[in-house]
Structure 1
Amino acid sequence: MIMEVKDSQSYKNAFYIAVIYFVFGVAWIVVSDTIVASSAGNLDQITIMQTYKGWFFVFITTVLLYMITYRFFKNSFFQYQKQIKIQEEHQKEISKSDALVRTIVNSSPDAIFAKDLEGKYILFNESASNIVGIEKDKVIGNTDFMIFQNDVAVRVHENDKEIIATKSIRTKEEELTTNFGLTKDFLVTKGPLFTDNGELFGIFGISRDITAQKQHEEYLIKSKQKLYDLAHHDILTKLPNRLHISEVLGVKCQKEEPFSLILLDLDGFKIINDSYGHRFGDKLIIGVSNLLKEVFNKDATIYRMGGDEFAIILDFDNIDNIIILMERLKSKLNNSFLVDEVEVYVTASMGIAIHKYRTNSIEDLLQEADAAMYNAKKIGKNTYSFYDSKFTQDALIHTQIATNLKKAMDNDDLELYYQSQNDAYNGDVIGVEALLRWRTSDGMIPPSVFIPIAEETGLIIEIGNIVLAQGCKTAIQWQNMGILNGKVAINISPKQLNHLDFIKNIDKILKETQCDPSWIELEITESSILDNPIQAIELLQKLKNRGFYISMDDFGTGYSFLSYLKKLPIDKLKIDQSFIRNITNDHKNQTIVKTIISLAKGLSIQVLAEGVESEDELEFLKEYGIDFIQGYYYAKPLPFADVEEILCRCKV
């Protein structure tokens, strides 16, 4: 446009000069000829004047031409200089722009490149050169087939053809093996290049190395998975844990697929843990987990719920098949575990709940399996039990009793009854046994109901301390009154005996009540001793050293080892009433009682028979040499005030 304007102006200037010259020439001829014609007198003068006129015209036109051309060339030179300056400024701007683009392109950490339509590189920045490991001078003018391996070049070429065909900008992730032999991940953006008039002349590309980003993402994914595994798996056994099974059950309970849930709890694991240490116990847990994997193989998924409790999910609900697996497990558990060269035996109580579609929630299923496991423990341990709806009702009753028992403790609703212990030959009261009773508005709750619940819930520890303290106070009162020339016998629960603070609690109660330990008889059960005989012997010796009288309650009902009996620091054996009942007619009971009495006499241990109700039973026992009796023949358990009144009458 500018050139067109300049050409038009030049034409006008040339036209104006020509017109001026023409007008001046015509004017000069007309005027000069007129002057010559009027001034010259003859032909010679005319000729001379014509000559001068010609030279003068030449001179004038030369001067005029000089002035015009001088001005023209002066303006032209000025315009040329101006144009040169403009071009120089423009070139500087172009150089700046080129430098700016070049700096930006070469400073970018991304690989930036461009190709013509033949696939030859026309741009290749420093980052691209560093990434592929080829100097950019060797890249410019070459195609991908001269730079990369053939398979890479073919893939890149196909992508370029797609960009050219669609004339669109596309972004995708690509994997590239560089000339250094490194495989890297890139985020590649490619698009078409157009001239100002819209003509396609090549493609551009920007490749960002996202290898580190991908590695970080993979690390985060692996870390997340690792955290998930840590949260959902048991560290010790590597089995899925309680959190994991909750998620699995949540999914399974929504499907119309049969499955069964088994809860397994090891019997007596705490004793093993306390005896050999937690590291030993951990190794045993690992051994049990491996045994479960062996027994169930691919039939189930095994979980560790915590402590000594496991869960197994079976993907079927056929009872016969479940029984086969349970019997196989019981059989395997009959074999000993070898831990740190120590042979130990462990059994398990197992509860089984069958999933019923749309009737079982996760909580219901777990509660059912737990109730069945509790029933397995209740019927003797080392067995399994399928869930029965009555278990839920039993569990509710169990929970209600435990709650009310705690309230009864807080409200002092528990009281001690006392039953006399008598000399078998003269009937004298040689002591009393303190028996716990729980009276409610609905009547008395039998000890056989609430004592086991107190054992299971741990309330027995606090109850035991209450009974011991009250028994000490009773002994002090009746000894000071002079109405009891004997001891107050107090039952010690197995859990109470095995509690870490048992001796500490005993000493505290003695200090608070100021009771003489020789006034107290501590009754322990056979099972509480034989769970850990060595520890029991040490513990009983400590009690003996304090002055307590020690008796073994319910003797003959457990699994006594005679080798330990002679080592135990006990003063009295109490024969369980189950052997006394119908003793006059039951020859087996007669043999057992006679053997126990004979054994005790041989070890210088006194013997008391429980549950004596008739004179025939008494006479029979006296023949065998019984020392003391306790039972309805002399007195039933009575409240404190009634027993005190009887003792007072006996003294009188």
Structure 2
Amino acid sequence: MVSRSGIVIQPVESMYGKQENSLDYTLNHFELIHGSDKERVRADMLHGKSGHFIFDLKGVQWYCHYNPVGYGGWYIFTMLRHDVGAAYASEITSRLTAASGVILICFLICVLLILRQQKRHTAALMRVAYYDELCQCPNLAKFKLDVQKFIDEHPGEGVLMTKFDIRQFKLLNKILGKEVGNTVLITIAAALDQETKIKGYCRAHDDEFYVFLCCSTSEELDKIRTSVWNQFYKCMGPGFSYPMEVIEGRYFMSFDDCQNAAEAVEKTNIAHSKAKELGTKVCEYDEALVKQALWKQQVEHQLEPALANGEFKIYLQAQYHLNEEALASAEALVRWEKEGKLIPPNDFIPILEQKGLITKLDFYVLEQLCRKMQSWKNEGRELIEIAVNFSRRHLENPDFIQNLCSIADQYGIPHYLLVVELTETAMWENEKNMIQMVEQLHENGFLMAMDDFGTGYSSLSLLKNLPVDIVKIDRSFFYDNQYKDRARILISNVMNMAKQLGMVTVAEGIEEQRHIDFLRQVGCDKVQGYYFTRPVPAESFWEGTRGAG
């Protein structure tokens, strides 16, 4: 330890030997420091700065570092032989180099592990994105990529794409259990995978599968189809005897107008949807299906603006008392007047039913009818009973009866003048809900009619369980000449049963005098059909209806 003036407080004996002779000489007078280093050290010590210098002593080079203590102006001089320091530094450097090497190796190992893990994650994500977990096969996204790659690499080769599913697969799950249902799907995928002529396949979702293969005719595809299902039943074993019905849509890809996998999938979808709609097992794509698909989209998207613009018009077809041939009641029908053309109900009602939009149109018809009836009432006309058709989808709406009451009451129309009309099929499919609905309708004063009686599966059972007010006999009973004698017997007995049950009978679609004579003979109450009048716009109902006052 040295003062600013160079006085040594604590000498280093190892450097000088005897401290009383050498320290005064070396440090007190700074004889170890020469030239500019001496002035620099003096200046640093006067200003309280630290520093270092190198000096020679007895032929040995030393390294010296000085640092202020921070009290009383004292400094600590630390000296180390240069060769010792160099050896120490070399050792530290070696150690640091070795440590750095170890660290580098560890770093590289970590990078490799991270890359390996990332590769695994990427592979897992690829499987999630492109493979079906249940069946361990490609999904629809991967299928489109595979198809596109194939048609790009095989230009001009005929390719067939097909989509199929199992009719009422949910019922299979319900009867046999979901585990068996999953086994069915897995086995279908396995059977497709074993067919060598199939170039690619996928499970899209639920029980829907897509397949593409090189095939030019339906007959060739039928053979492959048979081979696949034979393999399926073989794998399922003799214990599986559930009768499965497969619904299939086919599209023969034409390289003149389609070289795009996504477009081919859409066209195959159209064919498959048509097969389901028609209830057929197989349907092949053609341009007519495209027009139908486009029309469905137009109907769906144009419903709201058409309602707002008043394009849906109310028509009425009169119903007559058979004995007096006098106007008794009517049925409300709807027509779509679009761009000056009249669109028949069969061209849009089934589409709205399928898309779940029919309920909006039903209530629109009811409101327009009630508004018209209100205007007739204000004109002093005597109102008649009018039936309005409603979709089966209303059975799912707990507020249906309340909405009926609200609309009728808004226009001051007595409830007993409004008949809620549903088809027999809709009633049969929802018999439990129908019983409750009929009771509620009666509680609120409405009447209930069963339309298309005789076209369902359990007509007599419905007559027994449902206290409907009106039974409408379907026109098919009168125009199927092959079974006309049996039809006459059935109609006669239905009329008799309905009368005993207190129901009113209405015969639909009557056009000929011979039918009028027969219906009068068996005691039918009312007749509706071209024999008396065609449907007419509600505005001209009273002018265009026979016997209307």
Tell me, yes or no, whether TM beats 0.5: yes
2:91 alignment counterpart: 99
**Relative to structure 2, which stretch is displaced further, 504-513 or 409-418?**
504-513
1:292 alignment counterpart: 188
Whether 1:323 and 2:222 are equivalent positions in the alignment is yes
Whether 1:374 and 2:273 are equivalent positions in the alignment is yes
Sequence identity percentage: 24
Q: 1:344: Cα distance to partner? A: 9.6
1:551 alignment counterpart: 449
Partners of 1:230 and 1:326 in 2: CA distance = 29
Q: Tell me: CA distance 1:582–1:368, structure 2 relative to 1, closer, same or farther (3 Å).
A: closer
* Aligned mate of 1:89, from 56, 66, 81: 81
2:164 alignment counterpart: 264
Partners of 1:409 and 1:330 in 2: CA distance = 48
Partners of 1:372 and 1:325 in 2: CA distance = 19
Greater Cα radius of gyration, structure 1 or 2:
1
Q: 1:608: Cα distance to partner? A: 0.9
Q: How does 1:612-631 map to 2 (within 5 A)?
A: 612-631=510-529
How many residues align structurally? 467
Whether 1:589 and 2:477 are equivalent positions in the alignment is no
1:179 alignment counterpart: none
Say what the alpha-carbon RMSD is for the aligned residues.
4.1
Q: 1:431: Cα distance to partner? A: 1.4
Q: 1:447: Cα distance to partner? A: 1.6
Contact 2:533 2:545 in 1 (8 A): no
Whether 1:531 and 2:465 are equivalent positions in the alignment is no
1:580 alignment counterpart: 478
Q: How does 1:126-525 map to 2 (within 5 A)?
A: 207-208=105-106, 210-234=108-132, 240-256=138-154, 258-264=158-164, 286=182, 289-290=185-186, 292-293=188-189, 296=192, 298-299=194-195, 300=198, 301-306=200-205, 309-314=208-213, 316-324=215-223, 347=245, 349-357=247-255, 359-360=257-258, 361-379=260-278, 381-400=279-298, 402=300, 406-478=304-376, 483-484=381-382, 486-498=384-396, 502-503=400-401, 505-506=403-404, 508-510=406-408, 512-525=410-423
The one-character-per-residue Cα deviations of 1:369-402 (angstroms, maximum 9, x if unpaired) are 12212331343x1511122233224434444455
Q: Tell me: CA distance 1:287–1:572, structure 2 relative to 1, closer, same or farther (3 Å).
A: farther
Contact 1:421 1:430 in 2 (8 A): yes
Give, as a single letter, the amino acid of the residue that structure 2 aligns with 1:349.
Answer: I
Partners of 1:327 and 1:594 in 2: CA distance = 48
3-state secondary structure, aligned to 2:388: strand
Give, as a single letter, the amino acid of the residue that structure 2 aligns with 1:96.
Answer: Y
Consecutive unaligned residues of structure 1, counting only runs of 5 or more, are 1-79, 112-126, 128-205, 338-342
Q: 1:347: Cα distance to partner? A: 4.9
3-state secondary structure, aligned to 2:188: helix
Partners of 2:150 and 2:115 in 1: CA distance = 32
Partners of 2:232 and 2:463 in 1: CA distance = 29
Partners of 2:505 and 2:382 in 1: CA distance = 20
1:51 alignment counterpart: none
**Relative to structure 2, which stretch is displaced further, 96-105 or 431-440?**
96-105
Partners of 1:324 and 1:587 in 2: CA distance = 45
Structure with the larger RCO, 1 or 2 (CA within 8 Å, 6+ apart): 2
The one-character-per-residue Cα deviations of 1:456-490 (angstroms, maximum 9, x if unpaired) are 34332221121122233344454666644542101
Give, as a single letter, the amino acid of the residue that structure 1 aligns with 2:261.
Answer: I
Partners of 1:554 and 1:331 in 2: CA distance = 41
The one-character-per-residue Cα deviations of 1:415-451 (angstroms, maximum 9, x if unpaired) are 1011111111122322110010122344322222222
Contact 1:475 1:519 in 2 (8 A): no
Give the TM-score normalised by structure 1: 0.61
Q: Tell me: CA distance 1:504–1:255, structure 2 relative to 1, closer, same or farther (3 Å).
A: farther
**Relative to structure 2, which stretch is displaced further, 253-262 or 86-95?**
86-95
Contact 1:295 1:325 in 2 (8 A): no
Q: 1:319: Cα distance to partner? A: 2.4
**Relative to structure 2, which stretch is displaced further, 526-535 or 625-634?**
526-535
Q: Tell me: CA distance 1:599–1:238, structure 2 relative to 1, closer, same or farther (3 Å).
A: farther
Contact 1:584 1:616 in 2 (8 A): no
Partners of 2:436 and 2:347 in 1: CA distance = 32
Q: How does 1:12-27 map to 2 (within 5 A)?
A: none
Give the TM-score normalised by structure 2: 0.72
Give, as a single letter, the amino acid of the residue that structure 2 aligns with 1:470.
Answer: Q
Q: 1:567: Cα distance to partner? A: 1.3
Give, as a single letter, the amino acid of the residue that structure 2 aligns with 1:445.
Answer: I
Partners of 1:545 and 1:575 in 2: CA distance = 26
**Relative to structure 2, which stretch is displaced further, 619-628 or 561-570?**
561-570
Partners of 1:583 and 1:406 in 2: CA distance = 43
Give, as a single letter, the amino acid of the residue that structure 2 aligns with 1:312.
Answer: V
Contact 1:267 1:382 in 2 (8 A): no
Q: Tell me: CA distance 1:207–1:269, structure 2 relative to 1, closer, same or farther (3 Å).
A: closer
